Every structure is written in structure tokens, then in C-alpha cells.
Amino acid sequence: MGSHRSRSPIKRHGKCTPSCSAGGLATFLHCDSFARMLPKASVKCLSDAGFFLDVKDVSLNHTIRSTFKAVVSLQGVKRNLDRRCRKSMYDPELCFFPQYTLKYITTPFFVLNSVYDAIQFHRSWVPYSADVGRTWGHCRHQLAACNADQIAVLQGFRHRMLKALSYLLKDKQSGGTFITSCLTHCQSNAQEFWFAVDSPRIHNKTMAEAVGDWYFDRRRTKEIDCGYPCDTCRNLAPLPQATEYAKFESLIPQAGTHGRIGFNNY
């Protein structure tokens, strides 16, 4: 960072910070502080697959909340979370979740995410520990294999994500979104998702075009894909990170077996 600050060209050029997954989450937490370190630059932030949702899993347990609170406690970062968010929350540690800190971010921000995010689907919405009847196995690999009740559950998570994004979608003029319905996680690092002939398009616009419109202030960009069975992703198989984790997760013993904590407690 010091090298960025010491070079004069940064005074003349903009800076965009794109990050994915855990990096996407960190973008929500550090975007404004990063911008303050580059006062002469035009800073904009993009989070890909970093909008981790604070919701109960299908067994009504706070799986992801417990994990995030443990991370905050372990790393001792509560004091580094947004001060205004901490003052507004009954539990300041929840400001680790993007949905609570988003409205306090002043730097132009773009959210690229799937409403059926594969990692959240597997680890926090329907973790292995919550799938007591082992009925979600096929659904994890592709949405077409989900039954009507499972689709209804996933649509509920979609609704909650869009509601959590409502501030950015409705009020924040400098914000942008490209919210897909693909069963995947990170998308900007895969050419077939980012800018290819058969890339997902929302209102006939690819991710690359949407981000470009937002970054260069060409036009307002608040793109939201239709819900499943929307065919936006019809030409794309789920990325390996989605299917491979679903296969691997089934091999993990439930938490507490042999006194260890498995990935299913993420």
C-alpha cells in the first residue's frame, strides 16, 4: 500500500479494487478505509461473491452467524468494524455481515453475486449438519434436481438476499449490481461468466459490460436476474468449486464426531 501512495500517477488515475469470496467480504469491510489511504485517487470497490447473508439454515440454526461471530472473536476485529454500524446494532459483531455495513459505505460500490450462491447454499443455508434426512444431495449439484419444496426454500433465500440489498438497489446512486441466478460462487474470474458469447446476460448486458457502465459512469447499473427457472445460465454448467464442494462435504463427519469441527460448521 505504501508503494501505491508514494507514486504520483495514482493522483491522476482511478483505482478499482475487485475481490472474490472472502476477499469480496473484506471489500465491504475495508473499502472506505482503502479509499481514505488514496485521497487523490478516484476509488471504487467491487465485491464478487462476498455478500454473505445473515440467515438461519433450513434447521433454523444460525450456522453462518455463529461462524462469523467466532471469526470476529478469534481475530479480535470488532473494534475495526464500522463505528456507525456498531453503534446501531444490538450485537456489534454482526457488522461483519455486509448487509448491515453496506449502508454506511460512502465509496462507490458494486455487488456481483448470485442469489443461489453455491458456497452459501452448501455451507450456511443447507449445511450438511442441517440436512438430517439427506434429502438435498442431488439438489446441491444442480437446481433442476431440486423438488418443489426445495426450490421454494431457495426462493426464500433469494428474496432475503434481494431485501438485504435493497438500500443499494433503491437508494445509493453511486452503487451498482449484477445479481445472477447461476448456481455458482465467484464469477468475475471465469471468462465464460464474465465476457463470452454465451455469458449470462441481464437485459442483454454481460457482467463486463455492466461493470464497465458503472465504473466509467456511463449509465445506472442495477441489474437483477429473474429467479429460477430463469434460463440465463442455461449454457453453463456449475463451476467445479460448486459441484466438488458438494461431493466433498458429504464425506465429512458431523461436528463433534471424534471431537473435531468439520467444514460443515462453516
Q: Give catalytic residue positions.
A: 21, 117, 185
Q: Are 15 and 43 in contact (CB under 8 A)?
A: yes
Q: Which of 98, 15, 16, 2 is nearest to 52 (CA)?
A: 98
Cell 438435498 identifies what position?
A: 136
- DSSP secondary structure code for residue 45 in this structure: E
Q: Are 32 and 170 in contact (CB under 8 A)?
A: no
Reply yes or no: is the peptide bond before residue 229 cis, omega within 30 of 0.
yes
Cell matching residue 233: 445460465
How many whole angstroms separate alpha carbon 157 and alpha carbon 149?
13
137 φ, ψ (degrees, to nearest 5): -55, -55
For residue 123, give the 3-state DSSP assignment.
helix
How many whole angstroms separate alpha carbon 172 and alpha carbon 163?
14
Q: Are 119 and 49 in contact (CB under 8 A)?
A: yes
Q: Output the CA–CA distances (angstroms, integers) from residue 261 to 57, 103, 164, 249, 264, in the order listed.
A: 18, 34, 30, 13, 8
In sequence order, the 6+-apart residues with CB closer than 8 A to the CB of 69 are 91, 93, 94, 96
Strands 42-48 and 222-224: unpaired
